[in-house]
Chains A and B, each alone.
Chain A
């Protein structure tokens, strides 16, 4: 699974441009499950288990990542851009990006030429420019078209004590877990959606869940861990190496209490670490899925991830197994109607 995660993180798939991710996933899962791509670009898969399921369960992970989109080319060859998904400006300054195979850098005025106040101020995001080295607009147009998407140039690194750094761990880790589940033995039939456009408003999950019509859904995500220096305990939200994260509420969903309790009990029964997300920030595909048709009983299970929506997502390898094992154990009860 670690190789799959690495491959997936290194592929580029900003919201609305997830084709490469979908292709990779289809190649990986086709031997194990029936799958198709829906009109929005979601990969929907159905895997036969040993028995048919009493209740239909959907595993969901989103394929898209936050990134940039080129909005214009200036006379001097510099590119203007907008962000796709929520990105704070301070993680962009002097960072390297890739627009297809072309490298670019997000320029800053030299610190030497700034006044005292400006030196500690984040520049206006609207004024930021990407330099690909072009000498003029016509020169830049040989390499770039308006509407091209750009990703952070960030490699996959294992460091420290079991830590992984990469871009797009949100939510390629979810995709990697789903692929792993599809490849494994399953006692019941299961459905899977690898969705597009989560970062721009949970759009892919809406249509995927409509097609699958599940009774239950498990959204597998990466969620904000803020267990970092200078952040007080009560603002850490969740912690690395403390296991899977289960949410009681976030910006898009108030999770069903009974299901929330079952998730924690399941984790305890199988001896896997679980933690409750201590905060209600963010939102994920559960928000779209649980409102589908007449309603879907939905759980959100996440890996704790530091520095979300930056080039530098950081997770702890040891949390991956918790997320996967709890998700599978929960699925078995859901499919067997034993919740």
Chain B
């Protein structure tokens, strides 16, 4: 229950890179465990001292996809993408413009009375956001470059599903924070743990690059989200919700670590799914593994539906099992 509350707090907080709402929530969770600091890229890390002089970095990106203000017009603003927003879903989407204060806005739509169903969509720079303010009034509170995020609080679906914005990758953040808590609950963590909640992943895996350089760990485990099974997309590229964390097998991820994760799932009866990536994983694992002279890296993913929309959906059990798996891995790795 606590984990679910933490995840909802994280997901509801503002976290397009440059905003610090989600960082504040994470800092509150992590500061009892170790020294928390923020980096130049917009990320945050907690250094947790452990028994053994061996360092494992747990990475989850904390930034979310969003938009930035590019123009202020009379009554309306325009935006550009900040990350890979699914532009198809923007029409009639509510947003918050993070200006001097939070301003409500909604993407314009043309009603069916005036426009027949068409199957092509405008580009984002052809769309407008209605803010209900004149240009003069708007310019008092909004500036070009202000961040814009989806206005969508997380809610529970049936079973243990959660839907909201930014579950990519607050689900991963909640999982790594939880695994650090589990490890610290043993008394002292078995080794040094860096919980690295990195920024700018959605813009090109940037925050993890500098954070990993800074801490240069012995091993790293990346937790991100991956594609949930859905009709019309190839099943081999997806994981089923509620069927456990997806353990990535790829040229990039360390085979020994990966096998160890799988063994732990078998031993501890943690449900899991194999996810095979032929070349890049598209996650922070790609950049973390090649930091300095190289970092052994594994990737664990939480299956998610409707990625890069305001309707991202996950199963809480997958988050719990991911946290448990990582804690068990760390305990075993330093034994």
Contacts and interface: CB of A to CB of B under 8 A. Distances in A.
B188 interface: no
A111 B84 contact: yes
Interface string A84-102: 0011111101111000001
Interface string B194-216: 00000000000000000000000
A165 B113 CA distance: 19
Given A93-B88, A108-B309, A161 B134 contact: yes
Given A94-B306, A165-B104, A106 B114 contact: no
B227 interface: yes
B108 interface: yes
A87 B120 CA distance: 16
Interface in A75-129: 76, 78, 86-91, 93-96, 102-113, 119-123, 125, 127, 129
A143 B156 CA distance: 14
A134 B160 CA distance: 9
A15 B282 CA distance: 46
B92 interface: yes
Given A107-B305, A111-B86, A95 B92 contact: yes
Contact of B158 (A88, A106, A123, A133): A133
B158 A102 contact: yes
Interface string B122-166: 010010101111100100000000000000100111111101000
Contact of B132 (A96, A108, A235, A314): A314
Interface residues of A, number: 67
Interface in B218-245: 227, 230-234, 237, 242
The prevalent SS among residues of B at the interface is: loop
B114 A90 contact: no
B279 interface: no
A308 B109 CA distance: 9
A310 B109 contact: yes
A311 interface: yes
A139 B84 contact: no
Interface stretch (A27-35, A43-51, A208-216, A223-231): A223-231
Interface in B88-114: 88-89, 91-94, 103-106, 108-114
Contact of A108 (B88, B119, B126, B227): B88
A86 B121 contact: no
A332 interface: no
A294 B225 CA distance: 65
Given A134-B159, A165-B104, A90 B109 contact: yes
A132 interface: yes
B126 to A, nearest CB: 7
Given A111-B86, A159-B104, A312-B94, A121 B120 contact: yes
Interface in A2-38: none
Interface string A130-163: 0111110001001100000000001001011111
Contacts of A235: 114
Contact of A78 (B117, B156, B231): B231
B106 A91 contact: no
Contacts of B110: 88, 226, 231
Interface bin, chain B: 35 or more
B118 interface: yes
Contact of B113 (A224, A229, A230): A224
Contact of B313 (A105, A127, A162, A310): A105
Contacts of B21: none
A282 interface: yes
A86 B113 contact: yes
B286 to A, nearest CB: 15
Contact of A94 (B157, B232, B242, B310): B310
Nearest to B137: A161
B109 A91 contact: yes
Interface centre among B78, B88, B234 (most CB of A within 10 A): B88
A248 interface: no
B109 A88 contact: yes
Nearest to A127: B232
B128 A135 contact: no
Given A110-B306, A132-B158, A135-B159, A307 B108 contact: yes
B75 interface: yes
Contact of A90 (B88, B123, B131, B232): B88
A306 interface: yes
Contacts of B131: 159-160
A267 interface: no
Nearest to B162: A133
Given A91-B109, A102-B157, A229-B73, 9 more contacts: A94-B309, A95-B89, A108-B88, A110-B227, A111-B86, A133-B313, A139-B159, A282-B113, A310-B111
17 contacts: A88-B111, A91-B92, A94-B306, A102-B158, A103-B155, A103-B157, A107-B305, A108-B309, A131-B161, A134-B158, A154-B94, A160-B131, A163-B132, A228-B108, A229-B108, A279-B114, A307-B108
- A-B pairs, 5 with minimum CB distance: A160-B132, A133-B157, A133-B161, A163-B132, A229-B128
